[in-house]
Amino acid sequence: MAAIWDGETPIGWIACDNLIKKRPMQPWLKEIIGQFGQALGHTIVRFNHLKKLSEINNNLESIVEERSTQLKEKVNLLEKTQQELVESEKLASLGALVAGVAHEVNTPIGIGITASSHLVLKTQEIEHHYHNKSMKKSQLESYFQTATESAEIIQDNLTRAGDLIKSFKQLAVDQSIDTSSEVNLKEIVDNIKKSFQHQLKNRPITFINHVSSDLFFYICPGKLNQIITNLVNNSLIHAFEVEASGNIEVNARINNDSLHICYFDTGRGVNKDNLAKLFEPFYTTKRGKGGTGLGLNIIYNMIKKLGGQIETSSIQPSGLKFDITLPTQENL
């Protein structure tokens, strides 16, 4: 008889007898049976270990698959949340644009209404004198002068309102166009400048458009509008305090079928450690003050989708510069 061991624990026995010949078993045969018992024990132990290892591996695969599914769901949720925040940022920009339209157009319309009301009043007065046959030549001459002045005021302000609406309409239409067309960058920047006029008029900030009037090229106007609009909005929010003065300047040139835009402001600037973080999603210095940290990230993604590049650098004595390179249609 030989024991089968798992370490120091017996897990079975092997028994052998010589009942046929009824003789004692030879020592060499006992040794063989003992060796066989040890080998069988090792085999059983190894089999049990392999079985347990297989069960552990199967369990690990299930755990990994479950965790992978959970991680994928969380990543999808984060991507969805980020997209919703991006859309929210776009809506916020649209809200600012609508507020600018309302404010800018309201001023000339208000002046026009005041002038027309004054003209109606003076017309009623002169009509009263006419019917009562008490109208004097001086009153009629005064009325003619008032009517002319009022009509000119109405005409000038309606023209101004019409020009503003045309600019805002062009800006809105351009932002909805995803196909390439021939654009004039100076006109685009001028329209964007007008859209921010209500935010600039009460602040000591000068918006300078250096772009040449003869700079025509083929590109997606919608994306270009959004890029520059977001840059201006970023400057007004982050670069300048409410009472701070400074400049926002835009220049551009065409070189080897690529559009190079230089945009900078002379605001507070960004320290060297944070320059590399500017395009990271959710990075903002206005946390809790309305900043989402997505404005520059949206710009970065738009430029990358257009096959372009954007770089940032500090300017002296203070300020931030963006160098943008975009392929024109010939390079798309």
* Dist. CA 236–CA 22, nearest whole Å: 109
- Segment-wise mean pLDDT, segments of 10 residues, the chain, 332 residues: 68 69 70 75 80 82 83 80 66 60 76 89 89 87 90 86 67 57 90 84 89 88 86 87 88 89 90 80 58 72 87 86 84 42
Half-sphere exposure for 174 (CA within 13 Å, toward CB): 27
**Can you read off the two tokens belonging to residue 262?**
């230089």
pLDDT in the model for residue 86: 62
Reply yes or no: is the peptide bond before residue 317 cis, omega within 30 of 0: yes
pLDDT in the model for residue 288: 47
* Dist. CA 142–CA 149, nearest whole Å: 11
pLDDT in the model for residue 183: 87
Half-sphere exposure for 117 (CA within 13 Å, toward CB): 6
pLDDT in the model for residue 51: 84
Residue 115, beta-bridge partner list: none
Decide: 100 and 199 in contact? Cβ < 8 Å. Answer: yes
- Domains belonging to the chain, first-starting first, are 179-332 (3.30.565.10)
* Dist. CA 287–CA 221, nearest whole Å: 31
Q: Which amino acid is at 58?
A: N
Question: What are the residues whose beta carbons fall under 8 Å from the beta carbon of 137, sequence distance 6 or more?
Answer: none
pLDDT in the model for residue 43: 82
* Dist. CA 200–CA 193, nearest whole Å: 9
Q: pTM above the 0.85 mark?
A: no
* Dist. CA 69–CA 82, nearest whole Å: 20
* Dist. CA 77–CA 86, nearest whole Å: 14
Half-sphere exposure for 150 (CA within 13 Å, toward CB): 17
Nearest CA among 273, 236, 258 for reference residue 310: 258
Q: Which amino acid is at 306?
A: L
Cα 211–Cα 215–Cα 216 angle in degrees, nearest 5: 140
pLDDT in the model for residue 211: 94
